[in-house]
Amino acid sequence: MKDLIEVTIIDKDGTSNTLQIPTGISLSLMEVLKGEGYPILATCGGMALCATCHVQVIKGYEKLHQPEDQEWAMLDTLPNYTPQSRLSCQLKIDETMDGMEFRVMGEDNV
């Protein structure tokens, strides 16, 4: 069992950073990204209702569970939807995320 995983995040300007995240924290990827200062508004507080936490999974998409109906419904409304799109508030940090790579896609223009 790993206590620390590494996840690579690509920011909107193309900057790539590898985050080391403890697995025992019971947070979503959205909460971690916000905590790290990424421009994610998360106006719905993680309820899969605002899509500001939209990420594109660059590496490891197949390791994730399938989106629930509410997440699909939101993803479906996104102009910049990709087949690897997910809402990061619906992705819990756990060790299966080790080595994955995500691109930040959500809106940050307020």
Residues forming the site for ligand FES (CB under 6 A): 30, 42, 44, 46, 48-53, 74, 87, 89
Q: Name which of 89 and 105 has its Cβ closer to ligand FES.
A: 89
**Distance of closest approach, residue 90 Cβ to ligand FES, in angstroms:** 7
- The DSSP result for 37-74, as a single string, is T-----TTSSSSSS-TTEEEEEE-GGGSPPPPHHHHHH
Nearer CB in complex with ligand FES: 2/12: 12
Task: Indicate the residue among 39 and 46 with the shorter CB distance to ligand FES.
Answer: 46
CA distances from residue 14 to 48, 72, 91, 106 in whole angstroms, order as listed: 25, 26, 22, 14
